[in-house]
Amino acid sequence: MGELLDAMNLAYNTTIKARARYELAQQGPGCSLPAPCEAVRLWHALASTWLLQSNKRFWVGIHSPAYPQSLLALKDPPLILFGEGRLDLLKTRGIAIVGSRNATRTGLSNAQGFGKAFAQAQWVVVSGLAEGIDGAAHAGALQALGATIAVLGCGPDEVYPPHHAGLKKQIVEQGGLVLSEYPPGTAPQAGFFPRRNRIIAGLADALLVIEAAMRSGSLITARVASELGRPVGAIPGSIHSSQSKGCHDMIKKGALLVETALELMEEAKASLPQYKLLSVLQEDDSDCHTEMTCTVDTDAEPDEELGRVLQHLGHDPVHTDTLARQLGLDTEDTLAALTELELLGLVLGESGNRWVRSNGVF
């Protein structure tokens, strides 16, 4: 474990300023470092124990051949990474999906649908295991039996939010990867998550933002991806929704307006690095024509009355009472029709007894 101690000393020795540690890292693996501080020795002991508990766990230092080349383009690449799952995913083509923690039902549906579409086309789905869009994107990839990378804002042995523990376990068991630049035993902290975002942007070959307010961490991720030259896309939403403002601002500034998964995959493929492009050429891309569209995929056809309710419903949330007045029906009948339409997969219920037309991603 001598190499691990050296790598952790470079990454975490608080007696050396962060910029100085990056400068030392550029000198190569033989750089001269002070003796490990007490904190580094404690983290090393915790990490050593954690690594020995499963053969799926590993660490990668910045000087390791297994270190992902794409992260080296960052201004401040992580000096060490701890992972659990498939190490080879660090060098596989991937698309990041990020967005609001307080996502709408439509946003969650989009995230799961796009995650599934990318995974079916053999792209790794990269996200942050957070509440909302992140979790839905991981779930979509897993539903397609594809691979997904979860980049954490805490140690690799921690889970945040706690109720995503099952999702984290499923990612590892199903051939995905959980990754962190923080050592085992590190609890989540608010300042860790914005830094985590640069790793998400660096690992991915393209990035998709689904629902983001104007002051959103997702926009930081998008900015880093853009600075790295990655294609960046956003899904537009309602002009009345605060969760769409960030995406609309991105599109105004040049981000790709994304309607189908194929659009972003083609953009990403056009700018893949050579080592990833070679692996793509060897794959069967017959699944890469998967599209996300706004057409409803269901065999069920609503009757005339249900069709009338659906016709009055758009993609902006409408309260049940408002819809009832527009239709000239009482609230109970309108709610019953909406519930039936929801069972058919044609509408989605939002908070506050509001309803929207389904985007039909499933």
The C-alpha angle 361, 130, 47, rounded to 5 degrees, equals 135
Structure-token pair, residue 132: 């909302």
**Helix, strand or coil for residue 361?**
coil
% of the chain exceeding 70 in pLDDT: 91
Phi then psi dihedrals of residue 97, to 5 deg: -125, 120
Average pLDDT of the chain to the nearest whole number: 88
> Whole-model pTM?
0.81
The answer to whether 327 and 306 are in contact (CB under 8 A) is no
Write the pLDDT tens digit of every residue in 104-156. Answer: 888 999 999 999 999 999 999 999 999 999 999 999 999 999 999 999 999 99
Exposure string over 71-91, b if 16+ CB within 10 A, otherwise e: beeeeebbbbbbbbbbbebbb
Three-state DSSP at 178 gives strand
Q: Please tell me the distance from the alpha carbon of residue 295 to that of residue 262, in angstroms, as a whole number.
A: 16
Separation of CA 325 from chain center? 40
Residue 257's pLDDT is what? 97
pLDDT category at 282 given cuts 50, 70, 90 is very low
Is 3.30.60.50 the CATH number for 87-289? no
Q: How confident is the model at residue 302 (pLDDT cuts 50, 70, 90)?
A: low
pLDDT bracket for residue 20 (50, 70, 90): confident
**Domain boundaries along the sequence of the chain:** 1-53, 87-289, 304-357
Q: How far apart are CA 199 and CA 76, in angstroms?
A: 10
* Res. 359 pLDDT band, cuts 50 70 90: low
Does residue 68 contact residue 204 with C-beta atoms inside 8 Å?
no
CA–CA gap between residue 33 and residue 47 (Å, rounded)? 20
Type of residue at 189: Q
- Predicted local confidence at residue 354, as pLDDT: 83
Statement: 304-357 belongs to CATH 3.30.70.890: no
User: Which pLDDT tens digit goes with each residue over 54-88?
Assistant: 999 999 999 999 999 999 999 999 999 999 999 99
Residue 52 has a pLDDT of 96
Kindly state the average pLDDT of the residues 245-260. 95
| Share of residues in the chain with pLDDT > 90 (%) | 63
Torsion of CA 135, 137, 143, 147, to 10 degrees: -100
Counts of helices then strands in the chain (DSSP H, E): 14, 12
Are 99 and 132 in contact, with CB atoms under 8 Å apart?
yes
In the predicted structure, residue 9 carries a pLDDT above the cut 50: yes
DSSP string, 279-331: HHHTS-GGGGG----SS---S----HHHHHHHHT--SS-EEHHHHHHHHT--H
User: Which tokens is 31 given?
Assistant: 């750089």
Which residues 6+ apart lie within 8 Å of 117 measured at CB?
140, 144, 261, 290, 291, 292
Q: What is the pLDDT of residue 165?
A: 97
The predicted-structure confidence for 175-233, as pLDDT tens digits, reads as follows 999 999 999 999 999 899 999 999 999 999 999 999 999 988 899 999 999 999 999 99
Question: Per residue in 259-278, pLDDT tens?
Answer: 999 999 999 999 888 777 65
Instruction: Please report the pLDDT score of residue 294 as a whole number.
Output: 37
- Predicted pLDDT at 278: 57
Q: Which of 361, 360, 331, 334 is nearest to 346 (CA)?
A: 360
The pLDDT score that the predictor gives to residue 279 is 54
When pLDDT is cut at 50, 70 and 90, the band that residue 361 belongs to is very low
**Do the beta carbons of residue 261 and residue 114 sit within 8 Å?**
yes
Q: For residue 6, what pLDDT band results from cuts at 50, 70 and 90?
A: very high
Residue 315: φ, ψ to 5°:
-100, 0
